[in-house]
Amino acid sequence: MATNGTGKKIRENLSRIKPIEAPRASAPKSRRIFLISIIVVLLAAIAGLFTFFATPRGKITALKANGETGRVIEIAGVTKNIPVERKYLWVAVDIPGRKLCWPKRPIHNRNQGFYTKFMEKGLSDIITVSLYAVDSAHNAEIEEWFDQIRAAGREPGMELLPDEFRLDVMEFNRKGVA
């Protein structure tokens, strides 16, 4: 059995020992991580919205009810966020199945509304009209194509313009044209 003196020494030694504390979650550090995460998410959302609103956009609207047309096609529309490097706007009739298009009219005022009309002599019952915003190289190809058809007196289609330049497309049903 332990004597009274030994028990006293054990008690003294035990009283000197400090209890081990469990590590606490640091509230300021976790709050900081949370705030940084929220800021990153908000910045990503803002960047996504900026990309959406900065993307070149265009819309064709038919002036005839039900998208029906005769030989003369009238359209109106609007373009937005057209960058300088794609400042050349064209309305064209496309035949996607044959990978050909016939540019019809340039649109001179970018980033605003427009109206145009043109004659379409093709025999198809469905006319596909596209709105394009092209760069200077593709605009030069279109201008060269126009020069060739003026000289030849006939209108073979040109190669379909790349999809990346197409802002909008609308189909018209040809009615009453023989």
Which DSSP symbol is given to 102? E
When mean pLDDT is compared across 20-24, 90-94, 150-154, 166-170, the lowest value belongs to: 20-24
Confidence (pTM): 0.68
Q: Is the pLDDT of residue 93 over 80?
A: yes
Quickly state the pLDDT bin for 24 (edges 50, 70, 90): low
Percentage with pLDDT > 70 across the chain: 83
| Number of other CB atoms surrounding residue 58 within 10 Å | 22
Percentage helix, strand, coil, to 5, in the chain? 40, 35, 25
Domain 57-174 falls under CATH 2.60.40.1930: yes
For residue range 115-128, list pLDDT tens digits in order.
Answer: 999 988 877 888 89
**Which one has a higher pLDDT value, 56 or 12?**
56
Q: Is the pLDDT of residue 178 over 60?
A: no
**Which one has a higher pLDDT value, 53 or 6?**
6
- Specify the pLDDT at position 58: 92
Instruction: Extract the runs of DSSP E, i.e. beta strands, from 135-174.
Output: 158-159, 166-174
- Specify the pLDDT at position 69: 80
Instruction: Name the phi and psi angles at 121, rounded to 5.
Output: -95, -5
Structure tokens at 133: 């915003």
Q: What is the dihedral of CA 142, 106, 151, 126, to 10 degrees?
A: 90
Bridge-based pairing of strands 166-174 and 68-69 is parallel
For residue range 2-16, list pLDDT tens digits in order.
Answer: 566 777 887 777 777
Domain boundaries, given as residue ranges, for the chain: 57-174
Contact 160, 99 (CB under 8 A): yes
Angle, CA 128 vertex, CA 143 and CA 160 arms, to 5°: 40
- Specify the pLDDT at position 79: 93
